[in-house]
Chain A
Amino acid sequence: MDDRNILEVKNLEVHFEARSGFLNNLLSREVPRIRAVDGVNFNLKKGEILSLAGESGCGKTTTGKAILRLVEPTGGKVYFRGQDLSLLTQKELREFRQQAQIIFQDPYESLNPRQTVFATVAEPLEVNRICDNTKEKEERVARALSDAGLKNPRDYFIRYPHELSGGQRQRIAIASALVLKPKFIVADEPVTMLDLSIRSGILKLMMELRDNKQISYLFITHDLSLAWLISDRIAVMYSGNIVEIGGAEQIIGSPAHPYTKALVSVIPNPERSSGTDRKLLEGEIPDPSSPPRGCKFHPRCSYAQPCCREERPLLREVEKDRFVSCHLV
């Protein structure tokens, strides 16, 4: 393990058993397996922001949750600071969760509506029995809130989520992650639900935290332009696999995989006169319980060759720190 890496993900797999009806269970013994995450590999360096980009259903959120073991992986290994997470005991798992946190997409839903801001942010300290002293707890909560960019943090203590704006709520969610002083945060579409004018504030905050507190991020997003804006590297996922991973500028500037090319081409760009050079893909993402043979993308790929239908491509290094899984690159 390279000790510059905070996280190494090797062949991570999350397969769910599809829920099938009573009759189906009776008639056939085979339960279809949904391959939500189907062999994902990547490393995250200390203080790095890596974006996991892709359409809904590509497995990006499941990957993030499986790393934190909020969803149990069915295969593969995740190493956090050299430690194999699948071997953790219940107690060690709790310790790990203090170092690795998650920010959810919907700030309207990820905060308990019946908890005050203080209760929400102090909760991580309480459940992990970190400090019992009320004064110190207040101190730490106030600091976390101001770290999350809220001025006069104590004014928020007895307010409820419904009294706050979306941006403020997301800051509260960030504060409740920061209060444990984590080293790694999975940010699951943290700005998708927010208005454009508030987004940059939250993104800026995340960047500052990276710079000041050396927090590494796995930034999950469907928006490539956003990924480009804030991350060091981008990994593009399609149907449970990473199809391309590399530096943000390189991925957006010269995408190599046909899927990435298509995604980059549809990033809205007002300066382009309507849709002349958009590469619209036909069809839809494959059914994760029965993905196509060979390259999963071949039915929608305009460059597909016979070999693409037979053999599944592996992630290969095509230039330094740039990996693509395509036979034709």
Chain B
Amino acid sequence: MSILEVESLTTYYKLRKGMVKACENISFSLEKGEGLGLVGESGCGKTTAALSLIRLLPENGEIMGGSININGRDIAGYTEEEMRQIRMKEISIIFQGAMNALNPVRTVGTQIVEAIKVHYNHLSDKECWERTGDLFEKVEIDRERVRDYPHEFSGGMRQRVMIAMALSCDPFVVIGDEPTTGLDVMVQAQVLQLLEDLRKEQGLGLLLISHDLACVGETCDKIVVMYAGHIVEYAPTDILFKQPLHPYTKSLMKAIPSIGQKRELIPPIPGSPPDLINPPAGCRFFARCPEAVAECERKKPVLVSVTEDHHCACLLVDSKVSDTSG
């Protein structure tokens, strides 16, 4: 059974001007020890999806429908109190800016111990500190450094502290919301490697949210590509890279410089993503799509299975599939 199963999750934001349809009909599942990448450009709804999962949406955000199953229980309708019971303990999140998430005037150790105590109140102070030290070793920081203040750590180290904190109550799903954005390439590689090792050693389910397809491709087993609030393609990483089907995925891939091949600049995708308050009736990528046909403007594509694991939401692919099967 999947440890996390999301079924037609839909989240809107209320604005004075109307509803922002930030995220619609998102479905995916995550197995034990698996890494799933959620990829898309800014404003595509990937962060909204993540915040919906852990229920940390801003005040004007609301889950309009769908289910979020963690270990077989649907948490979409949980109250804040019920969520507090499972946050950190079953599902936790690592944010992008590690500096802002830590209180600058308290040692990192006290902050982690505090988090542990919320869920393990039977542990003594000594045991909590012991546990924090162990966590530090797990994320490859010297255990003596639990008594240091946030500013004494470098950017990469601070992100490790955040990982230690996210792991402090043994969750089985960890969401990384752009955990390496803003870090240097070398540090980014180190942090990603750490996440991958932890995932494999401890059987964590990792949901990695990123705008960087190349990065995600290197660390995850499966990839969900989002565009303007919809999933456009969902497939195992190797299949996705070998045979991308959706025109958007294809253009994202072309934009990754492929070292060792000919150096050439790929033409950019023209235009910009649609307004999500009044999204277009048909395919949301229609206006920018190089392969679009007239029908795409009217008819909304649905996510269909092309092969068993490979899902794609594109009318062109859909018609090909029905052609071959019929």
The size bracket of the interface on B is 35 or more
Task: Mark out the residues of chain A between 194 and 247 whose CB falls within 8 Å of any chain B CB in the assembled complex.
Answer: 195-201, 203-204, 207, 222-226, 228-230
A268 contact from B154, B211, B212, Cβ within 8 A: B212
In the complex, the answer to whether A270 meets B237 with C-beta atoms within 8 Å is yes
Q: Is the CB of A114 closer than 8 A to any CB of chain B?
A: no
B263 contact from A196, A229, A281, Cβ within 8 A: A229
Q: Is the CB of B66 closer than 8 A to any CB of chain A?
A: no
CA distance A274 to B196 in the complex (A): 9
Q: Assuming A198-B268, A229-B265, A275-B193, what are 6 further A-B pairs, CB within 8 angstroms? A: A197-B269, A263-B186, A266-B189, A268-B214, A269-B214, A284-B156
Q: Is the CB of A165 closer than 8 A to any CB of chain B?
A: yes
CA distance A251 to B207 in the complex (A): 35
Closest to B188 in A: A266
Instruction: Report A165 CB to chain B, min CB distance, Å.
Output: 6
In the complex, the answer to whether A225 meets B267 with C-beta atoms within 8 Å is no
Q: Kindly list chain A residues whose C-beta atoms are within 8 Å of the C-beta of B215.
A: 268
Q: Is the CB of B5 closer than 8 A to any CB of chain A?
A: no
Closest to A281 in B: B186
Number of chain A residues whose Cβ lies closer than 8 Å to a Cβ of chain B: 41
CA distance A201 to B217 in the complex (A): 24
Q: Kindly list chain A residues whose C-beta atoms are within 8 Å of the C-beta of B193.
A: 275, 278, 280
Interface centre among A197, A198, A248, A266 (most CB of B within 10 A): A197
Q: Is the CB of A55 closer than 8 A to any CB of chain B?
A: yes
In the complex, the answer to whether B211 meets A195 with C-beta atoms within 8 Å is yes
In the complex, the answer to whether A266 meets B41 with C-beta atoms within 8 Å is no
Q: Is the CB of B213 closer than 8 A to any CB of chain A?
A: yes
CA distance A196 to B254 in the complex (A): 10
Q: Kindly list chain B residues whose C-beta atoms are within 8 Å of the C-beta of A224.
A: 185
CA distance A313 to B297 in the complex (A): 62
Known A-B contacts A199-B255, A200-B255, A280-B190; A270 and B214 likewise in contact (beta carbons under 8 Å): yes
Against A, the Cβ 8 Å flags (1 = close, 0 = not) of B197-209 are 0000000000000
Q: Kindly list chain A residues whose C-beta atoms are within 8 Å of the C-beta of B137.
A: none
In the complex, the answer to whether A228 meets B217 with C-beta atoms within 8 Å is no
A-B interface, 8 closest residue pairs, ranked by CB to CB distance from nearest: A270-B217, A201-B268, A268-B214, A266-B189, A55-B184, A197-B269, A225-B257, A195-B41
In the complex, the answer to whether A228 meets B263 with C-beta atoms within 8 Å is yes
Instruction: Report B302 CB to chain A, min CB distance, Å.
Output: 24
Q: Is the CB of A34 closer than 8 A to any CB of chain B?
A: no
Q: Is the CB of A252 closer than 8 A to any CB of chain B?
A: yes
Q: Is the CB of B256 closer than 8 A to any CB of chain A?
A: yes
Q: Is the CB of A319 closer than 8 A to any CB of chain B?
A: no
Known A-B contacts A195-B42, A284-B156; A207 and B185 likewise in contact (beta carbons under 8 Å): no
CA distance A229 to B189 in the complex (A): 21
In the complex, the answer to whether A196 meets B185 with C-beta atoms within 8 Å is no
Q: Kindly list chain B residues whose C-beta atoms are within 8 Å of the C-beta of A228.
A: 257, 259, 263
CA distance A226 to B241 in the complex (A): 20
**Sampled A-B contacts (26; CB under 8 Å):** A55-B184, A56-B184, A195-B42, A196-B41, A196-B212, A196-B256, A197-B251, A199-B255, A199-B268, A200-B255, A200-B268, A201-B267, A226-B257, A230-B265, A252-B259, A266-B185, A268-B218, A269-B214, A270-B218, A270-B241, A272-B218, A274-B196, A280-B189, A280-B190, A284-B154, A284-B157
Closest to B42 in A: A195
A223 contact from B157, B185, B187, B268, Cβ within 8 A: B185
Known A-B contacts A195-B211, A196-B41, A222-B185; A269 and B218 likewise in contact (beta carbons under 8 Å): yes
CA distance A226 to B265 in the complex (A): 10
Q: Kindly list chain B residues whose C-beta atoms are within 8 Å of the C-beta of A165.
A: 272
In the complex, the answer to whether A200 meets B189 with C-beta atoms within 8 Å is no
Q: Kindly list chain B residues whose C-beta atoms are within 8 Å of the C-beta of A2.
A: none
In the complex, the answer to whether B186 meets A270 with C-beta atoms within 8 Å is no
Q: Kindly list chain A residues whose C-beta atoms are within 8 Å of the C-beta of B252.
A: 196-197
B256 contact from A195, A270, A275, Cβ within 8 A: A270
In the complex, the answer to whether B186 meets A280 with C-beta atoms within 8 Å is yes
Against A, the Cβ 8 Å flags (1 = close, 0 = not) of B121-152 are 00000000000000000000000000000000
Against B, the Cβ 8 Å flags (1 = close, 0 = not) of A270-289 are 11101100101100100000
Q: Is the CB of B8 closer than 8 A to any CB of chain A?
A: no
In the complex, the answer to whether A196 meets B257 with C-beta atoms within 8 Å is no
Closest to A264 in B: B259
In the complex, the answer to whether B213 meets A270 with C-beta atoms within 8 Å is yes
B268 contact from A204, A253, A281, Cβ within 8 A: A204
Q: Is the CB of A93 closer than 8 A to any CB of chain B?
A: no
Instruction: Report B17 CB to chain A, min CB distance, Å.
Output: 15
CA distance A223 to B259 in the complex (A): 12
B267 contact from A55, A56, A204, Cβ within 8 A: A204
Q: Is the CB of A88 closer than 8 A to any CB of chain B?
A: no
Task: Mark out the residues of chain B between 246 and 300 whose CB falls within 8 Å of any chain A CB in the assembled complex.
Answer: 251-252, 255-257, 259-260, 263, 265-269, 272
Known A-B contacts A266-B189, A269-B218, A281-B186; A203 and B265 likewise in contact (beta carbons under 8 Å): yes
Closest to A231 in B: B263
Q: Is the CB of B107 closer than 8 A to any CB of chain A?
A: no
Q: Kindly list chain B residues whose C-beta atoms are within 8 Å of the C-beta of A278.
A: 189, 193
Closest to B264 in A: A229
Closest to A55 in B: B184
Q: Kindly list chain B residues whose C-beta atoms are within 8 Å of the C-beta of A263.
A: 185-186
Q: Is the CB of A262 closer than 8 A to any CB of chain B?
A: yes
A200 contact from B41, B154, B213, B265, Cβ within 8 A: B265
Q: Is the CB of A314 closer than 8 A to any CB of chain B?
A: no
Closest to B215 in A: A268
Instruction: Report A234 CB to chain B, min CB distance, Å.
Output: 12
Known A-B contacts A195-B42, A197-B252, A225-B257; A267 and B272 likewise in contact (beta carbons under 8 Å): no
